[in-house]
């Protein structure tokens, strides 16, 4: 994937088929109160799609350990085995509870990188801070207090702190950060789930988000870093451990310095592609719309080599090509 070949460009576009399939499958459970069914449908659909892709793929960020899930587990070999050797990071359904409730910001996410391109992390937490492109290097820092980061970001953007919007997951663990952000004078957008979409929103002016910060999933952190590698922006992340078992899990994956602060380039390196399909509505992507005989999907496809961002509206004919859930 290091050379800008037509095969690489095709792979970037082909990968969106996997997120489209997962999104369509999950969307059938929107608002039905069954998180497990929505997730299983997305996983099965994405697995089916990736299995037919002409790649020699290894899942580095997946649905969990092999003993925890039957498909898309960390370490699984996937694809036909005849194509380029790639690492895969995925969340077949980001926002299982969102879909069950029928809320916004659920999506299916998939990234690919050169062999060894993704940091393999356990399914634990990661503390993150992210901003969009076009800003001075290290304009924000994970270890700096919110006021300092907001002052620096406002100065770099040429706006007042009160003009800035900070996106965070709505969790009790963020109470102190929320209070300090309000005290600094910035505005806050709290989201129930979906920290990948929260990070990507910092890169899209129409999304109205200037900074993302807070603790979310570590796998989602790697995927968010992959997206930023493609379209620009800055991110820092550090693994958060709640117990010794989580530390052991990280060490078993080769992570030695447990308190290391990672940049986006260290989480997702080399040539990277990223695709996401909306399951439910967000500021960036429309959700799946079911129509007579088919469905309409809205996806984004990103490439780090060219910085290209494509938005794709897919019209799916279930009569010619039946969707499987």
Contact 23, 297 (CB under 8 A): yes
Q: What is the DSSP letter of 303?
A: E
Q: What is the DSSP letter of 141?
A: -
Topology, domain 6-117+272-317: Fructose-1,6-Bisphosphatase; Chain A, domain 1 (3.30.540)
Q: Is 251 helix (H, G, I), strand (E, B) or coil?
A: helix
> Which single residue is written with the structure tokens 């929505």?
38
Domain 125-267 has what CATH class? alpha beta
Q: Where are the domains of the chain?
A: 6-117+272-317, 125-267
Contact 227, 111 (CB under 8 A): yes
Contact 323, 24 (CB under 8 A): yes
pLDDT by residue, tens only, the chain of 325 residues: 555 555 566 788 889 999 999 999 999 999 999 999 999 999 999 999 999 999 999 999 999 888 788 899 999 999 999 889 999 999 999 999 999 999 999 999 999 999 999 999 999 999 999 999 999 999 999 999 999 999 999 999 999 999 999 999 999 999 999 999 999 999 999 998 888 999 999 999 989 999 999 999 999 999 999 999 999 999 999 999 999 999 999 999 999 999 999 999 999 999 999 999 999 998 889 999 999 999 999 999 999 999 999 999 999 999 887 766 4
Question: Alpha-carbon distance 68 to 62, whole Å?
Answer: 11
> Which single residue is written with the structure tokens 């036909």?
80
Instruction: Count Cβ atoms within 10 A of the Cβ of residue 267 and give its class: 0-12 exposed, 13-18 middle, 19 or more buried.
Output: buried
Would you state the structure tokens that stand for residue 103, as one six-digit string?
């809320």
DSSP E strands, the chain? 56-61, 77-78, 85-94, 107-114, 125-131, 165-169, 187-191, 211-217, 234-240, 262-263, 272-278, 289-291, 294-303, 309-317
Instruction: Count Cβ atoms within 10 A of the Cβ of residue 2 and give its class: 0-12 exposed, 13-18 middle, 19 or more buried.
Output: exposed
Among the listed residues 46, 106, 96, the one whose alpha carbon sits nearest the alpha carbon of residue 76: 46
Q: Is 291 helix (H, G, I), strand (E, B) or coil?
A: strand
Contact 284, 312 (CB under 8 A): no
């Amino acid at each position: 994937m290091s050379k800008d070949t037509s095969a690489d460009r095709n792979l970037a576009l082909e990968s969106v088929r996997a997120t489209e399939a997962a999104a369509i499958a999950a969307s059938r459970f929107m608002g039905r109160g069954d998180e497990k069914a929505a997730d299983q449908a997305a996983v099965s659909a994405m697995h089916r799609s990736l299995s037919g892709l002409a790649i020699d793929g290894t899942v580095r960020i997946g649905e969990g350990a092999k003993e925890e899930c039957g498909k898309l587990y960390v370490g699984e070999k996937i694809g036909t085995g005849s194509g380029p050797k790639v690492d895969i990071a995925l969340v077949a359904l980001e926002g299982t509870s969102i879909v069950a409730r029928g809320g916004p910001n659920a999506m299916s996410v998939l990234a690919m990188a050169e062999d060894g391109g993704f940091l393999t992390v356990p399914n634990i937490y990661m503390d993150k801070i992210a901003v969009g492109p076009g800003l001075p290097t290290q304009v924000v820092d994970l270890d700096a207090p919110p006021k300092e980061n907001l002052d620096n970001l406002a100065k770099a953007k040429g706006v007042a702190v009160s003009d800035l919007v900070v996106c965070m997951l709505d969790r009790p663990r963020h109470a102190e950060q929320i209070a300090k952000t309000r005290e600094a004078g910035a505005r806050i957008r709290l989201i129930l789930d979906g920290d990948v979409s929260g990070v990507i929103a910092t890169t899209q002016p129409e999304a109205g988000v200037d900074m993302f910060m807070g603790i979310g999933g570590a796998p989602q952190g790697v995927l968010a870093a992959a997206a930023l590698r493609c379209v620009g922006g800055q991110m820092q992340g550090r693994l958060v451990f709640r117990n010794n078992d989580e530390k052991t899990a990280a060490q078993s994956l080769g992570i030695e310095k447990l308190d290391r602060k990672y940049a986006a380039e260290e989480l997702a390196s080399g040539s990277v592609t990223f695709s996401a399909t909306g399951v439910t509505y967000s500021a960036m992507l429309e959700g799946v719309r079911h129509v007579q005989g088919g469905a309409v999907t809205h996806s984004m496809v990103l490439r780090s080599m060219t910085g290209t961002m494509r938005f794709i509206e897919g019209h799916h004919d279930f009569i010619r090509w039946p969707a499987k859930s």
